Amino acid sequence: MGCPDPASCCYSCWAVYNLTMVDRNALFMYSPELESLPYPEDHPFNTKRARRTRELAESRGWLSGPGIQVEAAEPAARMDLKKVHSARYLHAFKSSAEGVWQSEAMGMGLGSSDCPMFEGVFDHAVFATGMTLFAARRLLAGEVDVAFNPSGGFHHAGREQASGFCYINDVAIACLTLADAGKRVVYLDIDVHHGDGVANAFYGRADVMTISLHEDPRVLFPGTGFVHEIGKGAGEGYCVNVPLPIGTYDMGYQNAFEALVLPLIKAYGPDVFVLEFGADALAGDPLAHLQLTNNTYVEVITQLLGFGKPILMTGGGGYQMENTVRAWALGWRVLCGTADEAAGPVPWEALLDEEVEIPDLQRETVSRTVSQTVEQVKEKVFPYHGLS
């Protein structure tokens, strides 16, 4: 039986009502030019995911209708790249990509197995960053309410370090652009890997709160993101890390999200969200060990929408192609709230994953470990925000 007045009922009912009834100006970023700049065939990072996501969303009618825009953008300007990366690093990266190696390049992670040099790599990184920045600026101008760049999300890149398939940190640059415009930013990272590059970029600042939920760094790259890493100086208490045990499933993840992320967002009062939507926390991803379904991703985006603030969403990890494409397409559908115009009688909810079968012992172990982590994060971070 449905609620008689969903607009004023419980939160979950209100969120569903909001998704279907509120018109949003939504921007989907896509450029076929990025297709001509792929990573090597044997590399885990598959740039075809963005095109496949666009195709699935288009087939369902989610890229048309009132308020929906699909756009490309120009490559990011050097002055924008220098907001996060040093001139020395950018020079070494560009030169190495052109086959002119600098002596310090290998020490910067350039040319490693994770971050190889190949034709078009510099152009790809700068182009993808331009797409994320374009979306951020459209949000700042009030021209759109939500935006998604599936070709973005390179959260591991550091000031002078290529790492984890990432060369230019587009999300850190976007966060800084938003903060420099006077906005309080919550950067939420739900990629299975710790968003170390973004956390480091704002470790001493309070105008960008970074929150990362990720697999236990003792067993997964990049080996950072422990509870005690909470920022320093002015940023102390504004870097939040929620490491999750192997085998974390929907209920455990959502419990941590509701106990930690939602109270922190409410206390911080952001003007805008930047969401790193890595799909590698899904069950079956070959590079990680969590067991989420798309139901959790839908819940996270729904909760963020409930705050009524602009949202910039990017792609990220996700190394099982079909699962990643479906997750991103569904994420876009929830984000923009458009109707299913081309799907016929099949509702979008039918594309959600079925629940993963979780043995009792795993449930008990995950529940106990997540509860311990929640208490540790509360002890370390909550006092900075008047929470208990």
**35 within domain boundaries:** yes
Q: Which residue's entry shows tokens 């709160």? A: 209
Check whether 162 has a pLDDT greater than 70. Answer: yes
State whether the Cα torsion 222-225-231-235 is positive or negative: positive
Q: Mind telling me the catalytic residues?
A: 156
The least confident of 59-73, 204-218, 347-361 is 347-361
**278 within domain boundaries:** yes
Per-residue pLDDT band for 346 (boundaries 50, 70, 90) equals low
User: What pLDDT is recorded for position 41?
Assistant: 93
pLDDT digits (tens, 9 = 90+) for 184-197: 999 999 999 999 99
Q: Which helix (H) or strand (E) holds 186?
A: strand 185-189
Q: In angstroms, what CA-CA distances link 189 with 21, 66, 85, 262, 383?
A: 27, 29, 20, 14, 22
User: What pLDDT is recorded for position 1?
Assistant: 32
**66 within domain boundaries:** yes
Note the helical H segments in the chain. Answer: 11-21, 48-59, 78-81, 87-97, 121-140, 170-180, 196-201, 250-256, 262-268, 294-305, 321-336, 360-381
User: What rounded mean pLDDT belongs to the chain?
Assistant: 92
Calculate Rg over the CA atoms of the chain.
Answer: 20
DSSP tag of 383: G
Alpha-carbon distance of 102 to 95, in angstroms, equals 7
Cis peptide bond prior to 270, omega within 30° of 0: no
**2 within domain boundaries:** no
CATH of the domain at 198: 3.40.800.20
User: What pLDDT is recorded for position 103?
Assistant: 84
Split into its structural domains, the chain has a count of 1
Q: Has this prediction a pTM greater than 0.75?
A: yes
**3 within domain boundaries:** no
Q: Which domain holds residue 316?
A: 8-385
User: What pLDDT is recorded for position 18?
Assistant: 42
**68 within domain boundaries:** yes
Residues in contact with 319: Cβ distance below 8 Å, sequence separation at least 6, in sequence order = 44, 45, 46, 280, 285, 286, 287
**1 within domain boundaries:** no
**375 within domain boundaries:** yes
